Amino acid sequence: MDKEDRRRYLVVASVFLDIVTPLFQHMIEKDYTTRRFGSFQAFMDNLKVVHDLFHLRHRNSGCCKDNVNCSNHKSLPLIPLQWKKLYSENPGQGIHNCHCKFTANPVQLKELDISLSSIILLNCCYLLQPEEEAVERLRQYKNDYWSHSTTGCITQTEFNTVWSDLVTYILRLDPSKQDDLVSIKNRSLIESLFKKYFVCLLDLHKQPDEDLMQNGFTCECGRQMIILANKDQSRRHRKQYQIGQAVFYLHQQISLKSLFNVDKGRLVTDIKMMDDGRLVFCVPDQSKVLIYNKDESNTDSIPVRGTPCCITTVNSSTVAIIVVKPFRSSYIELYDINYKIKLKWIQVPGMKSACGISHINNKLVVGGLRTLMIVDHKSEETIQKIKIRCTPESIHASDNKIFFKNHHTGFISNERKKLKCYSLSGKKVQGKILPSDPYSITSLRDGSLYVLCIDGSIHHVSGDLKDEKAVNTNNIVALKGGNIISCNAKQNTMVLRNNMILSIFQEQQQD
Ligand X SMILES: *[C@@H]1O[C@H](CO)[C@@H](O)[C@H](O)[C@H]1NC(C)=O
Among 189, 228, 354, 500, binds ligand X (CB under 6 A): 228
Binding segment for ligand X among 30-38, 225-233, 258-266, 267-275 (CB under 6 A)? 225-233
Buried residues in 275-291 as b, exposed as e (16+ CB within 10 A): eeebbbbbbbebbbbbb
Give kind and range of the element (H or E) at residue 302.
strand 298-303
Question: Does the protein bind ligand X through residue 66 (CB under 6 A)?
Answer: yes
Question: Does the protein bind ligand X through residue 34 (CB under 6 A)?
Answer: no
Among 377, 416, 432, 445, binds ligand X (CB under 6 A): 377
Binding segment for ligand X among 26-34, 227-235, 346-354, 494-502 (CB under 6 A)? 227-235
Amino acid at 358: S
CB 229 within 8 A of CB 315: no
Please, which of residues 233-292 interact with ligand X by CB under 6 A? none
Among 44, 86, 311, 334, binds ligand X (CB under 6 A): 334
| Minimal distance, residue 48 CB to ligand X, in Å | 6
Site track for ligand X across 43-62, x = CB under 6 A: -----x--------------
- Using only C-alpha atoms, the chain has a radius of gyration, in whole angstroms, of 26
Give kind and range of the element (H or E) at residue 320.
strand 318-324
Among 227, 332, 375, 489, binds ligand X (CB under 6 A): 227
- Point out which residues pair with 398 in neighbouring strands: 401
| Minimal distance, residue 320 CB to ligand X, in Å | 8
Q: State whether residue 498 is helix, strand or coil.
A: strand
What is the rounded distance in angstroms from the CA atom of residue 378 to the CA atom of residue 338? Answer: 19
Binding segment for ligand X among 64-72, 87-95, 234-242, 453-461 (CB under 6 A)? 64-72
| Minimal distance, residue 4 CB to ligand X, in Å | 13
Amino acid at 478: A
Contacts 24+ apart (CB under 8 A), 77-84: 77/119, 78/53, 78/119, 81/207, 82/57, 82/115, 82/116, 82/119, 83/53, 83/57
Question: CB neighbours of 317 closer than 8 A, spacing ≥ 6?
Answer: 336, 337, 338
| Minimal distance, residue 69 CB to ligand X, in Å | 4
Nearer to ligand X by Cβ, of 88 and 316: the residue is: 316
Question: Does the protein bind ligand X through residue 190 (CB under 6 A)?
Answer: no
Q: Where are the alpha helices (DSSP H) in 46-113?
A: 47-55, 80-86
| Minimal distance, residue 506 CB to ligand X, in Å | 25
| Minimal distance, residue 197 CB to ligand X, in Å | 13
| Minimal distance, residue 203 CB to ligand X, in Å | 17
CA dist 131 to 125, 134, 222, Å?
Answer: 11, 5, 21
CA dist 511 to 318, 471, 508, Å?
Answer: 34, 21, 10
Please, which of residues 129-188 interact with ligand X by CB under 6 A? 186
Site track for ligand X across 302-331, x = CB under 6 A: ------------xxxxx-------------
Among 90, 151, 230, 252, binds ligand X (CB under 6 A): 230
| Minimal distance, residue 377 CB to ligand X, in Å | 5
Please, which of residues 67-96 interact with ligand X by CB under 6 A? 68-69
What is the rounded distance in angstroms from the CA atom of residue 467 to the CA atom of residue 245? Answer: 12
| Minimal distance, residue 275 CB to ligand X, in Å | 10
What is the rounded distance in angstroms from the CA atom of residue 489 to the CA atom of residue 509? Answer: 14
Residue ranges in contact with ligand X by CB under 6 A? 48, 66, 68-69, 186, 227-228, 230, 314-318, 334, 343, 377-378
